[in-house]
Amino acid sequence: MSLEDTRIKIDAIDQQLIRLLNERAELVHVIGEIKKKDGLDIYVPGREEKLLRKLCELNSAQQGLLTEKAIRAIFREIMSAALALENSMKISFLGPAGSWTHQVAINKFGNSVSYVAEASTEGVFSRVACQGVDYGVLPIEHSTEGAVHHTLDHLVDSELQIYAEILWKVETVVMAKGDVASVKVIYGHPQMLAQCRPWLGQCYPHATLIESASSSLAATHAESEPGTAALGTPLSAELHGLRVLSTSPREHATRARFIILGRRSGAPTGHDNTMLMVHARDRVGALLEVLQVFASRNVNVRQIENRPVPGDLTGEQARFFLEISGHHEETSLQETIHDLTAQGAKVKVLGSYPAPGWVEER
């Protein structure tokens, strides 16, 4: 087939795609109207995750040329664009612009919704609580640093719930105005510099590594000082008008978890996790007693985090964050919570959310 004939075929396919995408958007709008009338959430992460999995399966069954990553990215934007028509969805995130949380939020919700950067975790919580935005995005765990305690502690004192969870493979990039050979100095957040030191040493053996207070400040240096580069996100490079010179090799990528904060939990999907806070008296065997309750109800405890109780100067209280398999509306979990309470523990459900299928990357 000639170049011209092939282009004519592509144009015809694009025409069909446009028609089909708009037909799809109209149907999403019909669903949106029903949801508004019934007071339901417009964005349903459980349904989206199911759909993405099904589409990836379909793609591999048809031995499609496109990768799973590409299918996910395309449909993320299709879903985001349709959602944006619905109710001008607003998302707040832990800033500044270009932060990892911003990058993750854009990956999840796409470019059609609007974003509000907040300077603190508290800011994200209050913005969601006062209904200034629909959802907030915050980090909750980093594979090298452990749990993000700030986020967990705020959940305890708030009525807000974890609505969805995002697993993310953190890819760090080196960005600069010039090319690799011109880089004499690389600025970065101390944590990022520590993580990237091994491969930076190989790719930029003559560059001096300098710590900066934040990734955003590092990018500002790279923007204004010739011969310098910064570590950060691809999004930050875009926002600061910098070129991505290198990306962290796969073996140096780290994993992180983020939460989507909402005003309530989603409905059970049959494939959910629940975050619980359990307060017990700090004594020998306290955690064992708590765990025995879960075991006797055959409820799987996926993860445990221990935190001091603010204001408990005598150290008499123990606070545990437990991630559990299942939804808090399921009978087994309701019974477990009942047993724990009967045993004298204080329990708070911090949210039930669809178990994310796999690490999302773009």
The two structure tokens encoding residue 229: 């580069």
Q: What is the side-by-side strand order in the sheet with 346-354?
A: 301-307, 317-325, 272-281, 346-354
How many other β-carbons are positioned within 10 Å of the β-carbon of residue 66? 12
Nearest to 349 by CA among 253, 273, 240: 273
Nearest to 255 by CA among 169, 341, 152: 169
82 versus 218: smaller Cβ distance to ligand ISJ: 82
Q: Interacting stretch for ligand ISJ, rule CB under 6 A, among 39-47, 132-140, 176-184, 238-246?
A: 39-47
CB of 68 to ligand ISJ, least distance (A): 18
Q: Is 91 in the site for ligand ISJ (CB under 6 A)?
A: no
Q: Is 330 in the site for ligand ISJ (CB under 6 A)?
A: no
Q: Is 53 in the site for ligand ISJ (CB under 6 A)?
A: no
26 versus 122: smaller Cβ distance to ligand ISJ: 26
How many other β-carbons are positioned within 10 Å of the β-carbon of residue 353? 25
Beta bridge partners of 353: 273
Q: Which of 6, 23, 28, 251 binds ligand ISJ (CB under 6 A)?
A: 28
CB of 180 to ligand ISJ, least distance (A): 41
Q: Which of 52, 56, 71, 82 binds ligand ISJ (CB under 6 A)?
A: 82
Question: Cα(275)–Cα(46) distance, rounded to whole angstroms?
Answer: 16
As a residue count, the chain comes to 362
43 versus 294: smaller Cβ distance to ligand ISJ: 43
Element (H, E) at 190: helix 190-203
Beta bridge partners of 306: 320
18 versus 295: smaller Cβ distance to ligand ISJ: 18
CB of 72 to ligand ISJ, least distance (A): 13
Nearest to 257 by CA among 172, 163, 147, 153: 147
Whether the CB-CB separation of 257 and 167 falls below 8 Å is answered with yes
108: amino acid identity, one letter = K
**DSSP-assigned letter for residue 268:** P
CB of 75 to ligand ISJ, least distance (A): 8
Q: Which of 10, 18, 20, 51 binds ligand ISJ (CB under 6 A)?
A: 51
Beta pairing class for 317-325 and 301-307: antiparallel
- Output the residue with the shortest Cβ distance to ligand ISJ: 79
Q: Interacting stretch for ligand ISJ, rule CB under 6 A, among 57-65, 75-83, 337-345, 354-362?
A: 75-83
CB of 64 to ligand ISJ, least distance (A): 19
43 versus 321: smaller Cβ distance to ligand ISJ: 43
Q: Is 79 in the site for ligand ISJ (CB under 6 A)?
A: yes
Q: Which of 47, 169, 271, 362 binds ligand ISJ (CB under 6 A)?
A: 47
Alpha carbon of 275 to those of 52, 82, 112, 193, 210: distances in Å?
Answer: 24, 30, 30, 32, 38
What part of residues 133-192 is at the interface with ligand ISJ (CB under 6 A)? none
19 versus 346: smaller Cβ distance to ligand ISJ: 19
CB of 42 to ligand ISJ, least distance (A): 6
Question: Cα(178)–Cα(245) distance, rounded to whole angstroms?
Answer: 9
10 versus 34: smaller Cβ distance to ligand ISJ: 34
Q: What are phi and psi of 148, to 5 degrees?
A: -90, 95
The residues of the shown chain that bind ligand ISJ, judged by CB under 6 A, are 28, 31, 43-44, 47-48, 51, 79, 82-83
